[in-house]
Each structure stands twice: as structure tokens, then as C-alpha cells.
Amino acid sequence: MWLDEPRNPNAPLAGIRVLELARVLAGPWAGQILADLGADVIKVESPEGDGTRQWGPPWVERTGPDGETRREAAYYHAANRGKRSIVADFADADDLARITELAAGADVLIENFKTGGLAKFGLDHATLARANERLVYCSITGFGQTGPRAHEPGYDFVIQGMSGFMSITGEPGGAPMKMGVSISDLTTGVYAANAIQAALIQRGRTGRGQHVDMALLDCSVALLANQASYRFTTGDNPPRMGNAHAQVAPYGVFPVRDGHVILAPANDRLFVRLARLIDRGDLAEDPRFATNAGRVEHADTLDAEIAKATASWSKQELLEACASAKVPAGPINGLDEVFAEPQVIARGMRVELGGLPGVRSPFVFSDAELALDRPSPMLGEDG
């Protein structure tokens, strides 16, 4: 039941077939990226459906092909655009045979069962690769296919804590804080989509697919970036800094009459511009603040002085003045403001398919298009 023709012949992954045996977020997020890029993605769901169909409120109601109105969680629709849905019970011999046949014709298979969990159904990489040596088989788990925790389940919140994210997020002296999105799941989905495409390119050279092993913990630790370098270089754990920056000052959130703004003058020249802009040229002349190292050392004092000055401005006045002086600054937007932002509108980040709004994958090509042709599917919509 693979599509005979690509969904969009000018999409980068036109003609690529993806079988998604994944649910909740990391696996479906990877699948949605590939679907946006033009792949034909068949999502295989249990008779109960992906659990996120019930993760509401908020809810979305729409009418199915059978004329019945169904209510599903908006959460599900955030990660399943562009796919087709079929229902299968792996314990049913006919259903299992159908999935095995689909895998034989697939370019990519994405699964996020527990390590080894699909082997009893013959849907593991080793078994399926015997019938389809070109298959790129991507496993997404909490901890990977190897190591002492390989067979443990992985959850985004737990991984955020284990990876160190929460130890560096939050106010100094305050409680550790998770991100406002499921960053470990989403990051793994992005990394997985990248790895899958790399494996497809290698397959073009070798003619063989391979097993791609993606772990939430690996992907989260990989994002530590300069914070890991801080640890490696100093031997100390980086502190929680709230909205401040450990290596740059001033750099943070400052009050205005009607809220807050972000100010990020990240070098000496920009700091001088900011100081003069807010009528505090004396700060630029203070030897304590002459260099970034000095400003970091005296950051509390400097931030307090800047905050006194910015508190008399309105948000719009200060942001316009910073833009005119080319001082990096920005608002702290609610999501209503995000999707009203002219730049976001101009870039077409909000899409609506079949009456369902969503956020497109952020790719823009000079000679290709995304395949934004269908909303997320209803359960079993395609068989």
C-alpha cells in the first residue's frame, strides 16, 4: 500500500518510504520531519491508537471519512502531520504479516519500543534486514541499545534531569527547572531524522542499509555544548544562572514600565552603545566595566544600574531605540505574540492543513519544496 507516486515530486525526500512503529513524541517527531520533507510515512498504531491522541486538553474535533465526529488531543496533531495511519495488532498473525510485508518495501523504519522489544515479533533489525538489506532501521530508546541501562524505559522529564539540563536551568539558588517543551524527545527526533538521512546517503554508496541507534540520554548530553566544556576545563559544575550568562555581561532580562526586555550587548562596542542609549554613559567610562571580564566580575552591580535606567522606558520605546542603535535586544513573547510577529508570518511558520493548524518544519530550499499536503491522520484512516 505504498504510494505509487511521490506526494510532491519536488520535495527532497520524494519517493522515500518510511514505516513508523513509534508513538508519543521522539519517534513521531522524526517521522513528521521526514514527512514534511516529502517521504511517504505510514504510521502503524495499535488498536487503541498512539497514546497522545488522549493527551488532552486541549482537544480537536473533526469529522472522519465515515461521517462521525471524533475528538482527539491537540498534542497528537503536533507530531503526526503528513502521515497515513493504519492499525495493527502485532499479536495477530495477519496484521503481523502485513507489517512485515510493508517493512520489506520500506526505505526506513522508525521504532521506539524498549530495547529488544520487537524481536519476539520478528520486527527487529536483524530479522527484517535479511529480507530488505537496504532498510535503514532507526531505533529510538531512552538509553540506547548498549550499556547498563539499555533495557530501562526512558522518559523526557527523567532524561532532562539525568543529562544535566535541569542542573543548569533555573534561578541561582532556586530549584532545578525543566524546559518548557519536551526538549530531550524533540532533540532526539531531530537528531534521528538527521542520522536517517545520512544513512540513506551512505546507502547510495554501499547499497546497504543499517541500524541507527538513537538514545534520548545521548542526544541530551550532546546538547550540553559549552556547558560541558566548562566542566571539562574547570573541573567544576556550571552554576544555574537564571537569565544571566556565565561568560558575558550585561546579558539578560531587564525591566521596563510594561514588562521586560532582553538585552544582549555581547562585546565592548555594543556595551558602550547601550550605556549611551539609556543615558548612562558613565557606565561605559567606569574602569570596572571597561572589559567583558570586568563586567562579568561586577555583573550584579552593573545589572542593577542598567535595570534602574531601563525601568523608565516602555518596551516599544527601548526596543526601537536598540534597533536603531544596532544593540541586540528583543521582546519576551507569549505564543499569541509569536504567531503575530511579522517575521514569523513572513516565513510561513504557521500552516493549516485540513482545518488543523500546526508549525512547519523550518527548512527553506532554493530548489525544493516541503510536502505540506495533509493533516495528521485519524486512527486507522488508511486501513
Distances (CA, A) of 37 to 10, 31, 221, 276, 312: 10, 10, 27, 47, 48
Length of the chain: 383
Report the distance separating Cα 28 and Cα 20, nearest Å: 7
Pairing mode, strands 69-73 and 59-63 = antiparallel
The grid coordinates listed for 252 are 539578560
Decide: residue 107, CB within 10 A, 0-12 exposed, 13-18 middle, 19+ buried. Answer: buried
**Which residues participate in catalysis according to the annotation?**
185
Neighbours of 140 (CB within 10 A): 28
Backbone phi, psi, residue 21, to 5°:
-105, 60
Distances (CA, A) of 329 to 188, 248, 307, 335: 30, 15, 14, 18
